Structure 1
Amino acid sequence: MKPTLIYFNGLGRGEIIRFLLSYFEVDFEDIRINSIAELEKYKPDLLFGQVPQYKDCEIGNIVQTNAICRYIAEKYGVRGKDIVERAKIDEIFESTEDIYMAQYIAHRDGNAIEIEKICKILVPKYCAAWETILNKKSNGKYFFGDKATLADLSVFKTMNHLKVFDFKISTESYPKLNAMLADIGSQAQVQKYVHNCRITPLNF
């Protein structure tokens, strides 16, 4: 059975699932919802009446963005080697959600003051923390060695998300973080995803 993702045709919170599937070059059916009317058609089969929903031959249906991300990360070997590493990966993974939610609200409201705060205060704060982790814990180019994990991939997705929405950010002051992002961004499947990543207005 071909994996299936049901989600809005837009760059919402669940977009990271599309990125992860693209990163692992999974051939999946990408069902994109463009309106409330379309969403209503799927609701009877959605556990909590919400998207995203992911389906494959092993797990069947699974909902909730972070649960889906962790499942995909586990399936493709980037969830962490033990309980401690998984907890530390989650620490970074969850930190990206702080930025996403701030960005989402500021962009939705057209709040220029909050957008500036995100670019000048919030993002540098998190970049500095990620740089510290890379300096202290990593023996390779990623947070946990020479292989990208859910932590690295979620940070890349978050920073790219900000750029797509034209938030004026820079990682030049964080050399290890900048190098890690550049390494992920240089991969062919990531370049393809970034090239196709566009803001799509929704009829809601």
Structure 2
Amino acid sequence: MFYGRLLRERVRHHRAPHSLMAVRPTLSYFELRGRAEASRLLLGDLGVEFIDRRITSPEEWEALKQDVPFGGLPRYQDERVDLTQSHAILRYLARTQGLVGLDGLPGENDAAAWVVYDEIQEVLSETQEHLWRFAWEADYQDTGETYANGILRWFLGALQQWYSEHGEGEYWVGDTISHIDYLAFAYLDEVRAFFPETLARVELLAAFHARMQARPRIAEYIDSGHRPVVFGMAVDGPKVDPDVTLEPGQMFHNPWTQPIVLGG
């Protein structure tokens, strides 16, 4: 009885305000790929129309920060929910867009079905966080080769083993695409940008990355100029995708520093 009451209270807490009813969902984040990119990829690839809100000024961020429960982004709002945790957002999108509960897996109410997704989502999250933390080490520019040939290579090898055992050819879980594939692509795309030779050594993951990148809507998004050129922040500034051609004087607007010139 207590649990049911608690659950109802949580649903009410997460329910979007009435003013958001019957409008396109909004995904709010910074002018970064970071923690929002997997959700952007998922929504875009499925053809879901959404507002991709980018927070680029200190004033806008200070005003918004007062309105989010834990003071962080991304934030996803639709007519039913207002969520501010990136992996909760991904799981919600997977369920509402029909990406989980695949043929050949236990039924949707079976815990064994969900835990397959949850396990690899946590692993991918941890490996992604490790990559981000590495960029905050004072000497990371000088230790990239050591990182690539050590812990990164081990992570990718372990991921490839999991992928080969649980996927059925193209995807990470089962035989159709799920939220896990978008999260894996977002992570591997950052590896591609800064450690391309290391990614090339894990052939199954490199092939998966290439297939995802070639999906028509993802390819269109990559080529559109709308995708953020910055993966995230490092100890020495923004981590810019080296494969992106920058415009002369192109700026990176963000809430934490003065605008930064990216293009020479």
TM-score strictly above 0.5: yes
Conserved in 1, the CA contact under 8 Å of 2:116 and 2:173?
A: no
Matching of residue 96 in structure 1 with residue 127 in structure 2: no
In the aligned structure 2, how far is the partner of 1:202 from the partner of 1:87?
37
In structure 2, relative to structure 1, the CA distance for the partners of 1:119 and 1:2 (3 Å cut) is same
Name the CA shift for 1:167/1:85 in 2 (closer, same or farther; >3 Å): same
Question: Are the counterparts in 2 of residues 73 and 149 from structure 1 also a CA contact under 8 Å?
Answer: yes
The 8 Å contact of residues 78 and 148 in structure 1, kept in 2 or not, is answered as: yes
1:49-60 matches, within 5 Å, as: 49-57=71-79, 59-60=80-81
Among candidates 150, 161, 181, match of residue 190 of structure 2: 161
Change in CA separation of 1:201 and 1:40 when aligned onto 2, cut-off 3 Å: closer
Residue by residue over 1:65-118, the C-alpha shift from the partner in whole angstroms, topping out at 9 and shown as x without a partner, is: 111111011112223444323212222222222232222223244523553344
Which residue number corresponds to residue 71 of structure 1?
92
Letter in 1 for 2:217: Q
Distance of aligned partners of 1:124 and 1:134 in 2 relative to their CA distance in 1, 3 Å threshold = same
Residue aligned with 2:200, SS = coil
- TM normalised by structure 1 equals 0.85
Tell whether the 8 Å contact from 1:106 to 1:114 is kept in structure 2 after alignment.
Answer: no
Unpaired segments of 5 or more residues in structure 1? Answer: none
CA contact (8 A) 1:13 1:100 kept: no
Please tell me whether the aligned partners of residues 25 and 50 of structure 2 are also in contact (alpha carbons under 8 angstroms): yes
The residue number in structure 1 matching 2:200 is 172
Shift of the 114–32 alpha-carbon distance from structure 1 to 2, 3 Å rule, reads: same
Matched, 1:183 2:205: no
The TM-score normalised by the length of structure 2 is 0.67
1:107 aligns to 2:135 (yes or no): yes
Q: Which residue of 2 aligns with 1:202?
A: 254
Percent same amino acid among aligned pairs? Answer: 25
Specify the code of the residue in structure 2 equivalent to 1:162.
V
Q: How many residues align?
A: 202
Greater helix content: 1
Q: Secondary structure at the match of 1:6?
A: strand
Counterpart in the other structure of 1:124: 153
What amino acid does structure 2 have at the position aligned with 1:96?
A: L
After the TM superposition, list the runs of 4 or more consecutive aligned residues in structure 1 that deviate by more than 4 angstroms: none
Please tell me whether the aligned partners of residues 58 and 254 of structure 2 are also in contact (alpha carbons under 8 angstroms): no
The worse-fitting range, judged by mean Cα deviation, of 65-74 and 85-94 is 85-94
Superposition deviation, residue 55 in structure 1: 0.7
RMSD of aligned residue pairs (Cα, Å): 2.3
Match of 2:63 in 1: 41
Q: Which has the larger radius of gyration?
A: 2
- Equivalent AA in structure 1 for residue 190 of structure 2: H
| C-alpha contact (below 8 Å) 2:55/2:255 kept by paired residues | no
Unaligned runs of 5+ in 2: 1-22, 103-107, 231-251, 257-264
Conserved 8 A contact 1:52-1:64: yes
Deviation at 1:163, TM superposition (A): 3.1
Distance 1:43 1:137 in 2: 39
Q: In structure 2, how many angstroms separate the alpha carbons of the residues matched to 1:114 and 1:16?
A: 28
After superposition, the Cα gap between the structure-2 partners of 1:133 and 1:103, relative to the gap in structure 1 and judged at 3 Å, is closer
